[in-house]
Amino acid sequence: MDSTGISRQTNAPESEINLLDRSEALSRVDGDGELLCSLVDIFFKEAGPMMVTIREAVTSHDPHKLEKSAHRLKGSVSVFAAHSVSQTAFDLEKMGRASDLSQVANTLARLEQQMTALQLELKQFHLELQTSS
């Protein structure tokens, strides 16, 4: 059951579940909605280039670049308590560290879907934070 009291299926697609924990994200900035809005703005500027770097690392079969770029993304999404996105980025980071790219295509596809959904959630959250301040 989620915070709205709605029961969620455990096999629901990522796009149907919340990827960020709003209350945890706010607590990470001591409830400062203005600061969180600023962090969302920064994330929107950096997320695209970070994903491009991850895709380039996968395409060029560069495990070192994959490890570093996935690590950076993991840190960025962790600010928003986006645990499943952070875990997927960490999975890519570990693949890079181990130089084992055998499952990288599936994991990248999952990350792409999660990032699309996360950005939509962050846009909505950003609007809510702006209207509440």
Q: What is the mean pLDDT of residues 40-54?
A: 97
Q: For residue 11, name the pLDDT band (cuts at 50, 70, 90).
A: very low
How far apart CA 77 and CA 66 sit, in angstroms, is: 16
Q: Which residue has the higher pLDDT, 7 or 34?
A: 34
As a whole number, the mean pLDDT across the chain is 88
Q: For residue 133, name the pLDDT band (cuts at 50, 70, 90).
A: low
Q: What is the percent of the chain with per-residue pLDDT over 90, rounded to a whole number?
A: 83
CB 77 within 8 A of CB 89: yes
- CA 92 remoteness from chain centre: 13
As given in the structure block, the two tokens for residue 85 are 């996105």
Q: Which residue has the higher pLDDT, 2 or 36?
A: 36
- 60-114 residue pLDDT tens: 999 999 999 999 999 999 999 999 999 999 999 999 999 999 999 999 999 999 9
Closest CA to 130 of 37, 44, 12: 37
Alpha-carbon dihedral 59, 92, 75, 50, rounded to 10 degrees:
10
Closest CA to 89 of 120, 122, 53, 35: 53
pLDDT at 39: 96
pTM: 0.84
Q: Quick check: helix, strand or coil at residue 56?
A: helix
- Domains of the chain, CATH where assigned: 29-132 (1.20.120)
As given in the structure block, the two tokens for residue 105 are 């295509």
